[in-house]
């Protein structure tokens, strides 16, 4: 104990909802460049905090909260909304991947048809019918 009567115990860091949202955005950007772990270490954060904050954000628990205001745990309804939002985002990514693959397949098919027609027109055996 120190001489002024206070304990030497470290104080727990309080991160406001706005700061949490900033960390989530910055962490998501860091992940894109495979620097997520470095971002966590540089800011003294844990991946479990990121997971928790994402759930809270997706459940709308940060909306309208003031710095220092308690967030708490999501209700069952909020947790379900967050789960459904994540599921929707996953399905939208899957759909985008599928659409890109179909676009590529269509272009590949068109190219193969064009090459086939070009080969047919250059083959002397086929032109002598």
Rg (CA), the chain: 27
Is 54 within the bounds of a domain?
Answer: yes
Nearest to 21 by CA among 53, 44, 47: 53
Enter the pTM of the model.
0.49
Is 60 inside any structural domain?
Answer: yes
> For the chain, how many residues are written?
129
What three-state secondary structure class fits 60? coil
Q: Looking at the domain assignment, is residue 6 inside a domain?
A: no
pLDDT for the residue 109: 95
How many domains does the chain fold into?
2
Asked if residue 23 is part of any domain, the answer here is yes
Q: What's the confidence (pLDDT) of residue 49?
A: 92
Q: Are 57 and 24 in contact (CB under 8 A)?
A: yes
Collect the ranges in the chain with pLDDT lower than 70: 1-7, 64-72, 123-129
- Is 2 inside any structural domain? no
pLDDT of residue 73: 72
Question: Are residue 70 and residue 85 in the same domain, yes or no?
Answer: no
Tell me the two tokens of residue 36. 């997520």
> Is there a domain that residue 128 lies in?
no
Q: What's the pLDDT at 24?
A: 93
55 & 93 share domain = no
The pLDDT assigned to 34 comes to 93
Determine contact, residues 17/62, Cβ cutoff 8 Å: yes
Under DSSP, the state recorded for 10 is P
Confirm whether 90 is domain-assigned.
yes
| Residues 55/82, Cβ–Cβ less than 8 Å | yes
* Phi, psi dihedrals of residue 68, rounded to the nearest 5°: 85, -10
Per-residue model confidence (pLDDT) at position 1: 47
Quote the CA–CA distance of 77 and 29 in Å, as a whole number: 29
Range of 106's domain?
75-122
């Amino acid at each position: 104990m120190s001489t002024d009567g206070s304990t030497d115990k470290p104080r727990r860091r309080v991160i406001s909802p706005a700061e949490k949202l900033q960390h989530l955005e910055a962490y998501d950007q860091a992940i894109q460049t495979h620097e997520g772990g470095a971002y966590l270490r540089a800011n003294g954060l844990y991946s479990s905090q990121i997971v928790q904050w994402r759930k809270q954000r997706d459940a709308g628990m940060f909306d309208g909260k003031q710095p220092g205001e308690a967030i708490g745990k999501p209700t069952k309804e909020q947790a379900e909304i967050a789960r459904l939002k994540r599921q929707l985002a996953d399905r939208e990514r899957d759909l985008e991947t599928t659409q890109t693959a179909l676009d590529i397949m269509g272009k590949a098919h068109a190219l193969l048809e064009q090459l086939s027609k070009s080969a047919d027109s250059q083959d002397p055996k086929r032109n002598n019918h």
